[in-house]
């Protein structure tokens, strides 16, 4: 059993952890966010700028490989430095969720959604003093993606780690030493879904590092060159990666990923063929959701940004309308959109993100902002439990999230998912899966449906936070709707 004491002060977190049995103590301090003095949050029900900074730190806690000297998550250390395919080194990237597999499919989706939010709402990052932190955070997976794509061999590494073996091991990432196979896509095992998302990550990364992150021309150019060749690879060898790699995330198709990739490549290059491809992959149906598998809502909105065509505007409006109250999607009694029991906060914030990017593009601005506010405010505390589902935000938040690194002390080899105490390491900024359909929620580490965290959970959520800050700074953010519970 472990016990922990958490003390919070302005600009710092002090975590004191004891491991019963060896009487050792570890102390960790870190700055959760760097808030610029000019930031004005007076018109907000919650401090979305603070939540934005905390979300960035969650991604820093997911880092795999050799950590930098300025690593802000001091309970984390170097991990899986043996990730490789033979002599070819593949360290780096993000762990997917509470596990230690590196799944490039959801990882790359998370990266390009984060980049989209950064590019669209860059003033929010600047206003809150988060630009440098964001650039540092998002560079980590992009550097890893450059390793994963070997154009001269037409090999794309798509995943590191065996999910079955990994998921049966509850230990800190610093202490695992299991076999971690490197899975790949190639001419005989296509993966246009993964290639498409990684292309979007690289192309949007080019824009981020050429426009927002200082003098990073060399890195930005490397991202663009990789994006061009990887896009061609995805087009030349069309197929769904999980059809040939059963250990991969099961994908429903690749058209949405390749449509989004074409749209991003057109944004970057202005070359008509990319736009023609993206429009050719368009499907005229109302998508079920935006998530690691379904990218159609984002692809449609990206196509509207690229073309201004009413077709894509109406497709975007139809998707958002499907999520509004009194339509086809259920809501919990206290007002959270309930698309699926697994990761309810993820689905609500993803759809809110599409609504806020649409609002930034002049589509139903006030209506979409009001609805998005209702969802983000629920997540941050407007609910029957008065709990923030973002770890570390406010005074009441999940203390037992389903996450190995958070629940295990790296200096202690033995770790039990079933121990009674709070997680000894605060996974600051993580978005927990959230409540059930009746607003029911129990903070239980073993309940991965409601207490899992993941890189894709935070992606749309972080974009929402940036949007709300920017709209507030612009003086157009409406008053928060009344809480239901």
Query: Per CATH, is 2-473 categorized as 1.50.10.10?
Result: yes
Name the residues annotated as catalytic: 443, 452
Report residue 227 as tokens. 């994006």
pLDDT tens figures, 37-57: 467 777 789 999 999 999 999
- What is the pLDDT at residue 328? 85
pLDDT of residue 414: 87
**Mean pLDDT, 10 residues at a time, over the chain (485 residues)?**
29 34 34 56 89 98 97 97 98 97 98 98 97 98 98 98 94 96 98 98 98 94 98 98 93 96 98 98 92 97 98 98 91 96 96 98 98 98 98 98 96 92 97 97 96 98 98 95 94
Q: How many CB atoms lie under 10 A from the CB of residue 421?
A: 16
What are the b/e assignments for 204-231, b being 16+ CB within 10 Å? bbbbbbbebbeebeebbebbbebbbbbb
Q: How far apart are the first and last CA of the chain?
A: 36
Burial (CB count within 10 angstroms: exposed 0-12, middle 13-18, buried 19+), residue 167: middle
Q: 85 phi and psi, to 5 degrees?
A: -120, 95
Instruction: Please give the distance of CA 83 from its chain centroid, rounded to a whole number.
Output: 22
pLDDT for 38 equals 63
Contacts (Cβ under 8 Å, ≥6 apart) of 213 = 131, 135, 139
Cα distance between residue 216 and residue 9, in whole Å: 35
**Quick one: pLDDT at residue 8?**
32
CA dist 216 → 92, 108, 208, 220, 431 (Å)? 20, 20, 9, 6, 31
pLDDT of residue 37: 45
Instruction: Read off the pTM.
Output: 0.94
């Amino acid at each position: 059993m472990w016990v922990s004491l958490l003390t919070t002060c302005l600009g710092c977190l002090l975590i004191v952890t004891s491991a019963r049995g060896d009487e050792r103590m570890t102390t960790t301090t870190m700055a959760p966010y760097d808030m610029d003095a000019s930031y004005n949050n007076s018109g907000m029900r919650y401090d979305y700028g603070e939540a934005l900074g905390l979300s960035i730190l969650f991604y820093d806690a997911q880092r795999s490989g050799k950590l930098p000297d300025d690593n802000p998550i001091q309970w984390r250390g170097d991990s899986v430095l043996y990730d490789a395919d033979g002599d070819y080194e593949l360290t780096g990237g993000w762990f997917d969720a509470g596990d230690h597999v590196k799944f490039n499919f959801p990882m790359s989706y998370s990266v390009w959604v984060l980049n989209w939010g950064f590019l669209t709402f860059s003033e929010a990052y600047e206003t809150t003093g988060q630009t440098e932190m964001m650039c540092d955070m998002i560079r980590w997976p992009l550097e890893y993606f450059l390793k994963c794509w070997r154009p001269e061999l037409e090999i794309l590494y798509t995943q590191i780690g065996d999910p079955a073996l990994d998921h049966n091991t509850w230990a800190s990432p610093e202490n695992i030493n299991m076999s971690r196979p490197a899975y790949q896509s190639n001419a005989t095992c296509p993966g246009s879904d993964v290639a498409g998302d990684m292309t979007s990550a690289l192309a949007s990364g080019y824009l981020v590092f050429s426009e927002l992150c200082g003098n990073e021309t060399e890195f930005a150019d490397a991202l663009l060159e990789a994006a061009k060749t990887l896009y061609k690879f995805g087009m030349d060898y069309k197929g769904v990666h999980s059809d040939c790699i059963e250990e991969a995330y099961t994908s429903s198709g690749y058209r949405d990923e390749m449509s989004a990739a074409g749209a991003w490549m057109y944004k970057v290059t202005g070359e008509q063929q990319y736009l023609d491809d993206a429009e050719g992959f368009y499907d005229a149906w109302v998508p079920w959701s935006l998530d690691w598998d379904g990218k159609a809502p984002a692809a449609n909105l990206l196509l509207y940004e690229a073309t201004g065509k009413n077709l894509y505007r109406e497709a975007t409006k139809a998707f958002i309308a499907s999520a509004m109250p009194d339509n086809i999607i259920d809501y919990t009694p206290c007002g959270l959109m309930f698309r699926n029991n697994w990761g309810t906060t993820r689905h609500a914030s993803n759809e809110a993100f599409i609504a806020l990017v649409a609002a930034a593009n002049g589509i139903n601005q006030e209506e979409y902002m009001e609805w998005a506010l209702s969802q983000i405010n629920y997540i941050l505390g407007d609910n029957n439990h008065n709990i923030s589902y973002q770890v570390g935000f406010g005074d009441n938040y999940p203390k037992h999230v389903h996450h190995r690194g958070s629940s295990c002390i790296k200096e202690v080899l033995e770790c039990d998912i079933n121990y009674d105490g709070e997680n000894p390491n605060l996974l600051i900024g993580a978005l927990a899966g959230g409540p059930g359909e009746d607003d029911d929620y129990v903070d239980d580490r073993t309940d991965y449906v409601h207490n899992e965290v993941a890189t894709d959970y935070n992606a749309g959520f972080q974009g929402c936070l940036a949007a709300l800050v920017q709209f507030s700074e612009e003086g157009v953010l409406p008053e928060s709707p009344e809480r239901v519970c």
